[in-house]
Structure 1
Amino acid sequence: MKLTFEYTWPYERMMKDIYISECPFCQQDNVLTSFKEEQLNLAQEGIKQILIMPCCHGKLTILNADDDYFYTDEKLRGQS
């Protein structure tokens, strides 16, 4: 599978906390995740990680990550 922009979701780091500015499932703003620094490091190494959104319990399967985006196995951005 080719990972394209539709399969990405932005995140932000503040200190050791990881925030999602908007949940891709329920659209709640400023979601503090339970994702740990160690999990982020593993994702950046290409080791698959699971993130359960605390707001709605939606599940993101993270295949990879960079400093700004999670790369998932699910199309998160719709086509207009």
Structure 2
Amino acid sequence: MLTFENTWPYEKTMDDIYLQECPFCRKTSVLTSFSEDSLELAKEGIKQLLIMPCCYGKLTILKADDDYLWADEKLRENR
């Protein structure tokens, strides 16, 4: 079962997918190479690989919704 700890928020502006902050190096306003097609496949539950352009950290995206990417690893602290 996926928990909220495995999520990371994203924003879509036109055809670009941004992360407010990289979950690995904490760089802000990261423009990803994640395409609209990859996002749609993730929304269908098809695994996608997202390589962060800032630090080359790898995220395996298991699914997506309109606000969050759901990864196969813990991305945030349980607060």
Q: Same fold (TM over 0.5)?
A: yes
DSSP 3-state at the match of 1:67: coil
Following TM superposition, by how much is the alpha carbon of 1:78 offset from its aligned partner in structure 2, in angstroms? 2.0
Structure 1 equivalent of residue 78 of structure 2: 79
CA distance in 2, matches of 1:67, 1:57: 24
Following TM superposition, by how much is the alpha carbon of 1:79 offset from its aligned partner in structure 2, in angstroms? 3.5
CA distance in 2, matches of 1:41, 1:49: 10
Q: Which amino acid in the other structure matches residue 9 of structure 1?
A: W
CA distance in 2, matches of 1:14, 1:79: 29
Relative to the length of structure 1, the TM-score reads 0.96
- Aligned identity (percent) is 68
Structure 2 equivalent of residue 50 of structure 1: 49
Mind listing any 5+ residue stretches in structure 1 that lack a counterpart?
Answer: none
DSSP 3-state at the match of 1:6: helix
Structure 2 equivalent of residue 39 of structure 1: 38
| CA distances 1:2-32 after superposition (whole Å, capped 9, x unpaired) | 1111000000000000000000000000000
1:4-15 equivalent positions in 2, closer than 5 A = 4-15=3-14
Q: How many residues are aligned here?
A: 79
Q: Which runs of 4+ in 1 moved over 6 A?
A: none
DSSP 3-state at the match of 2:50: strand
1:8-27 equivalent positions in 2, closer than 5 A = 8-27=7-26
